[in-house]
Amino acid sequence: MTDAKLLLEPGQVIRPIIDHEQVKLLAERLYGISVLDLTELNGYDDKNYKLTEDPNMKNPLITNHSPYGYVLKIMNSIDSQNVGVVEAQNEIMNFLATRSVTCPKPVRNIFGHLHSIEDLGGKKHAVRLLEYVPGELLKNCPLSEALLYQLGEFVANLDNKLQNFNHSGLVSRQHMWMLSMVPELEKFKYVIKDSEKLDLAEEVIEEFKYAVVPRLDELEKGVIHGDINEMNVLVLPKDAGASDYRISGVIDFGDIQYSYYVFELAITMTYMMLMSGDPRVGGLVLAGYTVTRRLPDEEYRLLKTLISARLVQSLILGAYTLEQDPKNTYVTSTEKANGWELLRKIRKTKPTENGDPTDWKAIANEFLTRS
């Protein structure tokens, strides 16, 4: 099946349709786990469930029982058609775990496989089980300068390690959340009803087409995580009882792709600015990143367009998904976090005596000099 057919089209329902009782039966049938406790976790197009197993009913096939429980992941019907991507997600977690990156670990089912394809509500979905990784989500922590710097460092380190990871399943992968797919947003922009917002979105999509697309061949390529945000980064207190945190791990490899390293940086910066509402914090992420990994000037110059494009992508696809599935409030997190307001700040703010809030290189240098 060609990847062109695997792109989301307006009107398509791809999220798994399943209730809690069926999830428990799946866990028992595929993994021999008797579920004691079940919580649904956030998910965009996929469904994710935190499971705690009944300690009196343990599956002898799981040799190391995860003390923190498991996450059962049911993938959307588009990605489930691409078995290579499912295998790549499992392999990348094992690859990083052996290189001292804390991330979930895939668990084999009773047939000895790391995933299976199940028929749910008339559609085929890939089902996997991962060990649950303890830690607090970054979104629940105060964003200190040190933590933002450390996140930049963490992401650069992650990408340095991923330079040695390749998988045939990712070579031709395309999905709507890849930054390179921003021109495809033309099909979905009808969901933005406010004319001023639509003008802003169209301006960014056009800028991406003429400023980024012709230069893609010049950018450094490799496998990236593709969705470093406050819901996918784990933190732990620095010391017992401490109020400051350190980055401890990364979760959710659903958007891994063979893409461009500068996209990884832009995506990380975007979500940290969204979380804080302040464009300046991008400079702190940049500081940590560039101390660990070189960023060529021509790639730095694309950051403003890339960050704007990620915001527009998140705002348009969030509004579209909400229109399709009004119960899925997770998808509007960018809008709730004042994504349009941030986009205006990045695009329209004029430099003042306090400097330019999007001169991230100057902000990074100032921070590094100070610390």
Rounded CA gap, 262 and 285, in Å? 13
- Residue 247 CA: distances (Å) to CA of 22, 178, 189, 325: 35, 25, 35, 33
Domain count, the chain: 2
Same domain, 278 and 362: yes
The answer as to whether 7 is a domain residue is: no
Same domain, 93 and 195: no
Collapse the DSSP code of 247 into the 3-class scheme (helix H, G, I; strand E, B; otherwise coil) and give the result. strand
CB 343 within 8 A of CB 312: yes
Instruction: Classify the C-alpha dihedral 319-323-324-328 as positive or negative.
Output: positive
The CATH number given to whatever domain includes residue 53 is: 3.30.200.20
Same domain, 287 and 334: yes
Last residue within a domain, chosen from 129, 160, 183: 129
Same domain, 315 and 167: yes
The answer as to whether 325 is a domain residue is: yes
The answer as to whether 31 is a domain residue is: yes
Same domain, 338 and 251: yes
Same domain, 38 and 169: no
Same domain, 26 and 151: no
The first and second tokens of residue 354, run together, are 């306090």
Place of tokens 């921003």: 182
Rounded CA gap, 249 and 236, in Å? 9
The answer as to whether 315 is a domain residue is: yes
Encode the chain (371 residues) as per-residue pLDDT tens digits: 334 345 666 666 778 878 899 999 999 999 989 898 999 987 778 899 999 988 776 666 666 778 899 999 999 888 888 899 999 999 999 999 999 999 999 999 999 999 999 999 889 999 999 999 999 999 999 999 999 999 999 999 999 999 999 999 998 888 899 999 999 999 999 999 999 999 999 999 999 999 999 999 999 999 999 999 999 999 998 876 667 899 999 999 999 999 999 999 999 999 999 999 999 999 999 999 999 999 999 999 999 999 999 999 999 998 888 888 777 666 666 666 699 999 999 998 887 777 899 999 999 999 999 98
The answer as to whether 6 is a domain residue is: no
Which amino acid belongs to residue 51?
L
The answer as to whether 196 is a domain residue is: yes
Alpha helices in 111-177 (DSSP H): 145-162, 168-171
Q: Catalytic residue numbers?
A: 227
Rounded CA gap, 8 and 255, in Å? 14
The first and second tokens of residue 164, run together, are 């040695």
Last residue within a domain, chosen from 129, 144, 179: 129
DSSP string, 59-79: -TT-SS--TT-EEEEE--TTG
The answer as to whether 178 is a domain residue is: yes
Structural domain span for residue 348? 134-367
The answer as to whether 10 is a domain residue is: no
